[in-house]
Amino acid sequence: MIVVNGKQRKHGAGEPLVAVLDALGLPADARGVAVAVEGEVVPRAQWTTFSIPEGARVEVLTAMQGG
């Protein structure tokens, strides 16, 4: 189980971050997107290699109108 943007997902633990991006309809090189796992930035250069730990909270963020 992992938590992506506040929603629990049964699968995903042990998979690379790009799998989560793909599930959100995002390409592996998505522009204007950033990812945090357990409150730490995972730089885009590591998206294909970073393996999501069991129970991890993943935040996938992008530009929204604001400020």
CB of 55 to other proteins, least distance (A): 19
Q: Considering the complex, what minimum distance in angstroms separates the CB of residue 50 from other proteins? A: 13
Residues in contact with other proteins by the rule CB under 8 A:
5-6, 24-26, 31-36, 39-41, 43-44, 59-67
Q: Give the strand pairing for 2-4 and 40-41.
A: unpaired
Q: How far apart are CA 4 and CA 6, in angstroms?
A: 5
- Note whether 32 and 40 are within 8 A (CB): no
Query: Do residues 56 and 13 touch, judged by C-beta distance below 8 A?
Result: yes
> Is the CB of 10 or the CB of 64 nearer to other proteins?
64
In whole angstroms, the minimum distance from the beta carbon of 16 to other proteins comes to 17
